[in-house]
Chain A
Amino acid sequence: MRDVAIVAFAQTDHLRQTDELSEVEILMPVLHQVLDATGLRASDIGFTCSGSSDYLAGRAFSFTMALDGVGANPPISESHVEMDGAWALYEAWVKIQTGQADTALVYSYGKSSPGEVRDVLTRQLDPYYVGPLWPDSVALAALQAQALIDAGDTDETALAAIAHRSRVAAADNPHAQLKGAVPAGDYVVRPLRTGDCPPVGDGAAAVILAAGDTARALCPRPAWIRGIDHRIEAHSLGVRELTDSPSTRLAATRAGAFERPVDTAELHAPFTSQEVVLRKALRLDDSVDVNPSGGALAANPVMAAGLIRLGEAAARIHRGESDRALAHATSGPCLQQNMVAVLEGESAHA
């Protein structure tokens, strides 16, 4: 295995609406930021991979427009996933492992403001038995939350405390959309209240990956990806054990997360109840700083929020605030698909 690290990370300010900007216009500043941070030019990058969804934009092949922002002509080595950018990062990591690239630019963006994201996300559901009922993303999360409450794993007060802790932490995050004390609010779909749900917003993120000595040359303290793995569960909700996340646990095991304690965990939990599930699956106790960025409850640009977890964890290592961090990304309803990466600074076990 090659040593691969995240050497740069940038994200936009996440905003409820960005009517004045197209997707590529949202994206370009973060692309320039990660390139400037490493001193690389677009033509130096070995592989480029992006994550986004046509369903957010309401247009086919919308990612091709965003490609203008990376300088795709003359032709570059490029790929795209119709998923969160965390999965684009995984593809780029695999590409570097194959030896076909030493550096990769990974970016993702989500502009949710043109549509109703609760309705849009129903189109990713099983089209035979579930999609025709249009259960929205909050409804599905609420079913999981009620299952947790019934199992005695949490209650509405504990969920509100997760929301509070996240948004207070986000006060130090200049990019966050929701920060500071946020009222619990009314039920959106009971038992979830507005405070338990993520903000709807637009935003983008970018990272640069590099291998071995290239990473050391580009970044004073690279965030080495010591392990990364992703797993999926059965698509039918009624088959799954909603109060647990065996796919997260398995991905974490394969990524080596349980070999030594982590000091930081960036969890992609857009709903408060999902943090309860993930903490259990990942066996995180109070010694771990969970979502110091505020997490997806503070900023949830769909398709970028998972990549941002990897980026936030890496940035803490770059800044010397963490030695060993866990980053998690999810996709699909009720934590259907989960990715776990373990990131370390060079001195962690020197």
Chain B
Amino acid sequence: MTLNLKERRNKTGTVLVATGEINSETSGAMLQTLLPLVREGRPLRIDLTAVTYVSSAGLRTLLVVYREAQHAGVAVTLYGVSEEVRFVMSATGFLDFFETGEAAAAEAKVKARSAR
């Protein structure tokens, strides 16, 4: 299984859409794509909607990106995490490190409600 990466830029930041599996074979290329984007300093959203599996090495790669972004002061959000991937990330503790799009959206809703 390969991993396809597509980059899209909009006004608020950069979106990287990943399709396939993130594992030890594919994560090296993903890291090479993501690190330059982090260094650009624009908010980065990683869209995992079409990612079916993230291996142990894949999770570590995502965390490396996140740590690099923290150093650079760049916001990184994971978006579209499937139920299975979310379960694995939760059970192994990786989910605790990341901002996920769903959580951010839910938080925004709560804030909107309380503002009324």
Question: Does A associate with B in a complex?
Answer: no
What is A's interface to B at a CB cutoff of 8 Å? none
B-side residues, CB < 8 A to A, are: none
